[in-house]
Amino acid sequence: MLEYCDYIADRIYNSLFLDSKTAGTKLGVVGRVRLDLKYPEGWLASSKKIMTVTDTNGQKYKVTIEAVDK
């Protein structure tokens, strides 16, 4: 079955990034989308995507996009 984690992560990233550039926003830094890699080998562990978002007070948040089994 086809999963859309990449697409959803891209849409969320672009929306948060654009919002972080507007006046009066509560967002600071929007981190890049990272892959779920298995260390130390570096192979792809799942289709999960992870990003970190920082608000204007310096609090960090982890945003995770992953498929849920039915």
pLDDT in tens, 25-48: 999 999 999 999 988 888 989 889
Q: Is there a domain that residue 16 lies in?
A: yes
Whether 17 maps to a domain, the answer reads yes
Please state, rounded to an integer, the average pLDDT across all residues of the chain: 92
What gap in Å lies between CA 23 and CA 54, rounded to an integer?
A: 16
Q: What is the pTM of this model?
A: 0.86
* 56 occurs within a structural domain: yes
Q: Model confidence at 2, in pLDDT bands (50, 70, 90)?
A: low
Tell me, yes or no, whether 37 lies in a domain: yes
Report yes or no on 31 lying in a domain. Answer: yes
DSSP label of 67: -
How many domains are there within the chain?
1
Measured between its terminal Cα atoms, the distance across the chain in Å is 12
Domain range for 52: 5-65
